[in-house]
Structure 1
Amino acid sequence: MKDEEGEAKAKIFFVAYEKLDVEDVDKRPITFAFNGGPGSSSVWLHLGILGPKRVLLDDDGKAMAPPFSLVDNESSVLDKTDLVFIDPVSTGYSRPAKGEDPKQFHGVQEDVQSVGDFIRLYTTREGRWSSPKFLSGESYGTTRASALSGYLQDRHGMYLNGIVLVSAVLDFQTIRFTVGNDLPYVLFFPSYTTTAWYHKKLPEDLQSMNLEDLMKESREYAQGPYATALLMGDRLSGEEYAGHVRQIARLTGLSEYYVERSNLRIQIFQFTKELLRDEKRTVGRFDSRIKGIDREAVGDSPDYDPSYAAVQGPYTGCLNDYVRKDLNFKTDLPYEILTGRVHPWNYEDYENRYVNVGDTLQEAISKNPYLKVFVANGYYDLATPFLATEYTFAHLGLDASLRGNVSMGYYEAGHMMYTHKESLEKLGEDLDTFYDQTLQLVVGE
């Protein structure tokens, strides 16, 4: 990438898949995909769900014994769309140009501009301005995708057909456990319940319920009595407080003793450490079905996320092998799967407030009422829980005539729900439906 004076700014690594036997490329959709972090490469979407190959895991999403391997991905969307997987600067093999300060790419707006300018450049060089265009982002990549919906419209006049958001976070207030912000306690609550149910930590009457009915009960308590209790704060009577202690313990699998001493508020890492403490096990943040083993059973937070450890090795090994042997790309650089080199991330435009790009997405849809959004949610995702996503979209401010532009899918898996075989297949089917329905609006399709 170069600036307007022709000076090199960065080298962006990407992997593109294009269908060759296309009579009219203007009718062939193209999807630009990326993951999150900040600091993540695009390997997860690339070798997890969208691309033609996927990392082989067991059916529950756990790693097999190394070395690891790829298999054909029958759930790939390559039959629906061309694909371009983008590694933002400092991730994957992407690097700043010689002499360029990497900090100019490491921030909310800086990142949107550099990725957006790459998308414009690729679209121009490959002659894809008349092709239907989609974005696909995961985790912080959903923040990026939502912000890009506005940047591409306003800066480059590029209107999108669709956006796929996998494990979305558009409003950071929904996931930040900070003093004075009670919202995450409410929005994480049903995910605590599903996790406790999976690990058989609930009372017998709840444990015997099917997952959908159980979530309904947990949602109703979280969004009703529990939310009201947190709003009341110290105004709760002793009897009311004790009643909530009992109900929180009942629906989370935690002890009343622990809930009472937590002042009715259970932070994410406290939960992942506490739920299976009596077994000397922890549960994952990205996928709470996965158990971990800490050095000691004491403490307030796990030593590591076992659900990330379950996928880091397989995805790293397979990517490094694939780009060299199959794609014939040679380099001695390390492929930065998930790097801390992008930090500190610049949130200057959101100083003294939470990052929230929901208004950008709302405006993009209002300006372009043909823009459709699909959101994939994992029931066992403790990074971006499904109720937080529902809350965000319920507060997006979309006109009633445009609310149908957003659809959601739910999966009995975690943050990267495609690591779970059954969820991979369901997500693939849901994406096929989303592309088909969105492209029906394109003239000539």
Structure 2
Amino acid sequence: MRKIVSSMAVLICAVASAAEPPAQPAPPTPPAIMARVSQKPVALSDLPAPREFVTHHRTKIRGKALSYTATAGETYITNIAGEPIARFFSFSYMSDEPRDAGRPVMFVFNGGPGSASLWLHMGVLGPQRVALDQEVNPSNTPPFGVNDNAFSVLDVADLVFIDPVGTGFSRAAGNAVDTDFASVDADADSVARFIEAWLTKYGRWNSPKYLVGESYGTIRAAVLPRALMGGPMYNGVMRGITVDGVILVAPGFDVGVPPDPNAPDPATLALPSLAVTAWYHNKIDRKGLSAVQFYDEVKTFAATEYAVALGKQGSGALSDTEKQSLALKLHDYTGLPVDAWMRADLRIPKNEFRKQLLASQGLEVGAYDSRYTLPLAGSGGDPVADDPAMTRYVPGFVAAFNMMLRDHLKVTMPVAYSPITFSLAFTWDFSRVSGLPKGQSFAVDLATAMRRTPALRVMVTSGYYDMGATPAGSQSQVERGGLPLERVTFKNYESGHMLYLGGTAERFADDVRTFVLAGNSR
């Protein structure tokens, strides 16, 4: 992947009391969006006025009536030279009830990279929600519906759904191009600039602030506190914005970084998810256990007996008898034959498992949600469009969102809304700006933010049927990142990557609501 090189240096001034000042580290290379220099500068006055659509609504949340104002529209952000570089499109929902500037505000985004925010928007947090014929294995052909969302958290916080540059209706502006933002730190810095502008526009600098990110959005949420605070060794500006809480939905902090030699064996972190998938599809003896009880049992086995056996096998110390005994236990937990585990040397990758578990029925299970199935035959091999989960629920979400845009928010734009722009993911630069250690987990960014802000709390949420960001894997990444665990809450749900599908939306929303209210009570 290409590395974006800045064309402007950051000047760092240091004051030293000693007669011989200590050596200073080399100035960092700030994200390109801060430093783009144009031969022909563009001013805000050169661009059309930002579009804005304001509507007023009344709904009922948790049985209580609520009036709110929805503002869908564009916000220009500028670089350090004052040139406009992007127009962010966002959806802001603010309660009309009497309030002061201390009402919490929640900034919400999805992942990708290259995804717009409609998933969290329409799936669980926004005031309207997609209506599918069923939430697991739904029909992916019309009709689809939109309902008022009785689970929305708008009752406890104002909501701002952010579409990063290149997604939704958000685009680069002036002399910038969308790919200028296709890197970890440039993306985070641009979102920080949007948040800064939003707080100023609505006079919300004194509000408790929460970040909610899903999938790659959890990396953005981990890096954003650094960009919001700012500093000479990161982006060369001082914004001084802190956040009260970060909510991580299906986190994956080790994406784009080298493997951690101190991490548990990946097979041990994956096994509980393989097992609970077999439990769901009735391919094993459940022994009267619930999905959660079964998952916890296998998680303990994986971290102890399975981990020890894999370690012995790696050193050549595992006997044939021990291997056979372990393969039998793996069969009991996953439903796959003993000889399959023996041939695979006790390690069956998640993608292979997904094809083998229901092969006798001619089915494969989903990567994003292993409760979903599609026929094994006829797959086009696309990791998203042919995934049994994504291909089933995406059409309903997209249709419902576009209906809400037109009928509820009265938004009219000259271009189509882009739910996911994969070209951004293909060019995404995971390397960091200079001044940050190479290859560190993004969880370390969040640990740094928690050190800087002692009141910052984190909630980590995962789905048992998520075969990508597994609960065990996510918890391991957070623990290894050095976060103060007394301020971290872990929540798991009987769902997949979009862990608010399949009857879990109400519980997830209530957990978010409780998290916010706990912050208000401090």
Q: TM-score, normalised by structure 2?
A: 0.77
2:329 alignment partner, one of 247, 250, 267: 247
CA–CA separation in structure 2 for the residues paired with 1:167 and 1:88: 19
For 1:43-99, what per-residue CA distance to the aligned partner results, in whole angstroms no more than 9, with x for missing partners? Answer: 011011110000012454343451211101111000011111001111111111254
Report the 3-state secondary structure (helix = DSSP H, G, I; strand = E; otherwise coil) of the residue aligned with 1:15: strand
**Could you give the per-residue CA deviations for residues 32-53 of structure 1, whole angstroms, max 9, x where no partner exists?**
0000111111001101111000
1:233-264 alpha-carbon deviations (Å, 9 max, x no partner):
15122222222222222212212222222222
CA distance in 2, matches of 1:182, 1:426: 30
Q: CA deviation at 1:279?
A: 0.7
Partner of 1:437: 518
Answer yes or no: is 1:213 the counterpart of 2:213.
no
- 1:36 aligned to 2:111? yes
2:64 corresponding residue in structure 1: none
Could you tell me which amino acid in structure 1 is paired with residue 297 of structure 2?
Answer: E
1:27 alignment partner, SS class: coil
Instruction: Give the conservation status (yes or no) of the 8 Å contact 1:375–1:406.
Output: yes
Structure with bigger strand share is: 2
2:107 is paired with a residue whose SS is: strand
Structure 1 alignment gaps of length 5 or more: none
Query: Any conservation in 2 of the 1:294–1:302 contact (CA below 8 Å)?
Result: no
Determine the C-alpha separation between the residues in 1 that align with 2:491 and 2:457: 14
| Matches of 1:246 and 1:169, distance apart in 2 | 31
- Name the counterpart of 1:227: 307
- For residues 28-427 of structure 1, the aligned pairs below 5 Å read 28-64=103-139, 65-97=141-173, 99-154=175-230, 155-172=238-255, 183-202=265-284, 204=285, 206-232=286-312, 233-235=314-316, 236-295=318-377, 304-342=386-424, 343-349=426-432, 356-398=441-483, 402-421=484-503, 423-427=504-508
Between the aligned partners of 1:220 and 1:375, the Cα distance in structure 2 is 20
Q: Which consecutive residues of structure 2, in runs of 5 or more, have no partner in the other structure?
A: 1-76, 231-237
Matched residue SS, 1:89: coil
- CA deviations 1:368-425 (Å, max 9, x no partner) are 1111111222111112110112212222324xxx42211122211111121222x111
User: Match of 2:126, as an amino acid?
Assistant: G
Assess, with a 3 A threshold, how the Cα gap between structure 1 residues 273 and 353 changes in structure 2: closer, same or farther.
farther
Quote the Cα distance in structure 1 between the aligned partners of 2:488 and 2:394: 31
Aligned counterpart, 2:52: none
How many angstroms apart in 2 are the aligned matches of 1:294 and 1:318?
29
Name the structure where helix makes up a greater proportion of residues: 1
Report the secondary structure of 1:9's partner residue: strand
Task: Using CA pairs under 8 Å that are at least 6 residues apart, name the structure with larger relative contact order, 1 or 2.
Answer: 1
Question: Do structure 1's residue 13 and structure 2's residue 89 form an aligned pair?
Answer: yes
Q: Distance in 2 between matches of 1:243 and 1:289?
A: 29
Structure 1 stretch displaced more, 350-359 or 44-53: 350-359
Q: Contact 1:177–1:267 at 8 Å: present in 2 too? A: no
Q: 1:173 to 1:344 in 2, by over 3 A?
A: closer
Equivalent AA in structure 2 for residue 80 of structure 1? V
1:171 is aligned with what amino acid? D
CA contact under 8 A between 1:272 and 1:302: conserved in structure 2?
no
**Local SS of the residue matching 1:306:** coil
- Equivalents in 1 of 2:393, 2:371: separation in Å? 13
Provide the TM-score with structure 1 as the length reference: 0.90
SS of aligned partner of 2:422? coil
> How far apart in 1 are the matches of 2:457 and 2:98?
25
For 1:216 and 1:170, locate their aligned partners in 2 and report how far apart those are by CA, in whole Å: 23
Distance 1:173 1:325, change over 3 A: closer
Closer, same or farther: CA 291–250 of 1 in aligned 2, 3 Å: same
AA matched with 1:36: G
Partner letter of residue 423 of structure 2? R
Secondary structure of 1:12's aligned partner: strand
SS at match of 2:336: coil
Q: 1:182 & 1:261 partners in 2: Cα distance?
A: 22
* Cα contact 1:93–1:334 (8 A) shared by 2: yes
More off after superposition, 321-330 vs 11-20:
321-330
Shift of 1:22: 2.8
Mark the CA change 1:180 to 1:404 in structure 2 (over 3 Å): closer, same or farther. closer
The one-letter amino acid of 2:447's match is: Q
**Which letter maps to 2:123?**
G
Q: Percent identity?
A: 34
The count of corresponding residues between Structure 1 and Structure 2 is 432
TM-superposed deviation, 1:162: 0.9
Higher Rg of the two aligned structures: 2
Between the aligned partners of 2:282 and 2:438, the Cα distance in structure 1 is 39
Deviation (angstroms), 1:230 = 2.5
Contact 1:259 1:265 in 2 (8 A): yes
Contact map agreement 2:385 2:391 (CA 8 A) in 1: no
